[in-house]
Amino acid sequence: MTILCPKCKSKHILTKHTARKICGTIGATTATMGGVATTLSAAKIGASFGMVAGPIGSVLGGITSAVLVGLVSGVAGCSAGTALGEMVDTTILDNHECVRCGHCFSLARADETSSAEGY
């Protein structure tokens, strides 16, 4: 799909993704901090599973669980934040900028405008 500037009909459009970048970063940071908070309980669970393999298994199980929980939380948070940011970008912010005339617009609102002009 080619995006056209609603003002000058230029095809040279930049996509900014401002909210997606911000929300992705916030999501990843928040989730990683949340992951760190739950890391202790995950480490305990991992350690108790590791007890089967002896004291070294217990330590390795704890560390592995802690690392996994931190990583999974960070990735999940980043994905959730990115999805939220994508939604904000497309519906609320003027996500697209025309290179030719500098006009900023959102695709959702540009659609509304073009369909309104049709009637």
User: Could you list the residues that contact Zn ion (CB under 5 A)?
Assistant: 5, 7-8, 10, 98, 100-101, 103
What is the closest distance, in whole angstroms, from the C-beta atom of residue 107 to Zn ion in the complex? 14
The smaller minimum CB distance to Zn ion, of residues 4 and 63, is found at 4
End-to-end CA distance of the chain: 23
**Quick one: DSSP state of residue 11?**
S
* Single-letter code of the amino acid located at 24: G
- Cβ–Cβ under 8 Å, residues 98 and 12: yes
The smaller minimum CB distance to Zn ion, of residues 7 and 17, is found at 7
Q: Which residues contact 116 (CB under 8 A, 6 or more apart)?
A: none
The smaller minimum CB distance to Zn ion, of residues 86 and 97, is found at 97
The smaller minimum CB distance to Zn ion, of residues 17 and 103, is found at 103
What is the closest distance, in whole angstroms, from the C-beta atom of residue 113 to Zn ion in the complex? 13
What is the closest distance, in whole angstroms, from the C-beta atom of residue 96 to Zn ion in the complex? 10
What is the closest distance, in whole angstroms, from the C-beta atom of residue 14 to Zn ion in the complex? 11
Q: Which residues contact 73 (CB under 8 A, 6 or more apart)?
A: 31, 32, 34, 35, 38
* Single-letter code of the amino acid located at 42: A
